[in-house]
């Protein structure tokens, strides 16, 4: 019986290329020019000679206004004489979110007094080698998804871990780091691995990847509709605990001094 042509199964890479075309992920001449101007003005810095700052605002002032569209890693090292508190590290991401960024950043911790921030592009951020405190998921590009009605709110908020996050986190979890964080414009999520972490089930990661990328095409095949659904999904499939936090948690009387 002739059942018609066999439909070719779309690979992950092919689906990602289709998403790029659908969402219009491009870099304008103005963005390229602004990045070049920013790089020229950025002071020389390294882990041995970081840029010393007095506040979170100082850190934010050194970050670029546009993505790093080059293939090379761009990393800025910061030092602070009295060290960076946990509240200040969270405030860096909150302050960054208020700029409506279109790109990812990742914050690494070297010691109590030194951190670095990697400048990513509209899709990812490369070059992380030390202890990652957290990274930022921009949501600007999601506005180009034509059909959003069936998409989970947690995805549109930028707080859903990606396939790339899982692949990277597996290496970090295996090396002994057990807590990772994703920040977005509304807050952040902590993802915690068990102390006796073993590698992820590859088939489950692959299955998640296919369905995760479907979200960018306006299709929700994951079965995740609420924040609670995501918590349950990651616990059942990857043995990870997921905890959501709002920036409001840190909006206390003493917060103002963090930005000054």
pLDDT, tens digit, for every residue of 31-43?
Answer: 999 999 999 999 9
3-state class of 47 per DSSP? coil
The answer, yes or no, to whether residue 138 has pLDDT greater than 60, is yes
Digit-coded pLDDT (tens) for 103-116: 999 999 998 899 99
pLDDT of residue 147: 86
E strands in 57-158: 74-79, 105-111, 114-119, 131-136
Digit-coded pLDDT (tens) for 171-193: 999 988 999 999 999 999 999 99
pLDDT of residue 252: 41
> Residues 152, 159: contact at Cβ < 8 Å?
no
pLDDT of residue 249: 55
Estimate the crossing angle of helix 12-23 against helix 202-215, to 10 degrees.
20
Please state which of the ranges 68-72, 78-82, 92-96, 210-214 shows the lowest mean pLDDT: 68-72
Whole-number Å distance between alpha carbons of 101 and 123: 12
Query: Confidence band (pLDDT; 50, 70, 90) for 166?
Result: very high
Work out the number of other CB atoms within 10 angstroms of the CB of residue 179. 15
Query: Confidence band (pLDDT; 50, 70, 90) for 23?
Result: confident
Supply the pTM of this predicted model: 0.88
Report domain extents, the chain.
12-259
pLDDT of residue 112: 84
The answer, yes or no, to whether residue 161 has pLDDT greater than 70, is yes
The answer, yes or no, to whether residue 9 has pLDDT greater than 80, is no
The answer, yes or no, to whether residue 22 has pLDDT greater than 90, is no
3-state class of 64 per DSSP? coil
Query: Confidence band (pLDDT; 50, 70, 90) for 124?
Result: confident
Query: Confidence band (pLDDT; 50, 70, 90) for 8?
Result: low
The answer, yes or no, to whether residue 49 has pLDDT greater than 60, is yes
| Average pLDDT in the chain | 89
Whole-number Å distance between alpha carbons of 108 and 133: 5
Query: Confidence band (pLDDT; 50, 70, 90) for 21?
Result: confident
DSSP class of 74: E
């Amino acid at each position: 019986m002739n059942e018609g042509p066999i439909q070719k199964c779309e690979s992950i890479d092919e689906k990602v290329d289709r998403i790029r075309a659908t969402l219009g992920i491009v870099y304008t001449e103005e963005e390229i020019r602004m990045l070049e101007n920013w790089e020229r003005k950025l002071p020389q810095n390294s882990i041995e000679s970081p840029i010393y700052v007095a506040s979170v605002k100082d850190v934010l002032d050194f970050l670029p206004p546009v993505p790093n569209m080059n293939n090379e890693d761009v990393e800025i090292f910061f030092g602070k004489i009295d060290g960076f508190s946990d509240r200040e590290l969270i405030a860096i991401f909150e302050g960054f979110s208020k700029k409506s960024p279109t790109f990812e950043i990742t914050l690494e911790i070297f010691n109590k007094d030194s951190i670095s921030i990697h400048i990513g592009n509209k899709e990812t951020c490369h070059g992380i080698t030390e202890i990652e405190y957290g990274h930022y998921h921009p949501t600007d590009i999601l506005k180009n998804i034509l059909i959003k009605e069936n998409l989970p709110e947690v995805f549109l908020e930028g707080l859903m871990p990606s396939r790339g996050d899982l692949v990277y986190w597996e290496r970090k979890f295996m090396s002994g780091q057990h807590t990772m964080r994703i920040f977005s414009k509304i807050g952040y999520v902590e993802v915690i691995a068990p102390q006796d972490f073993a590698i992820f089930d590859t088939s489950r990661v692959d299955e998640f990847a296919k369905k995760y990328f479907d979200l960018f095409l306006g299709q929700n095949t994951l079965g995740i509709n609420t924040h609670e659904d995501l918590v349950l999904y990651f616990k059942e499939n990857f043995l990870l605990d997921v905890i959501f936090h709002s920036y409001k948690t840190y909006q206390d009387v003493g917060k103002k001094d963090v930005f000054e």
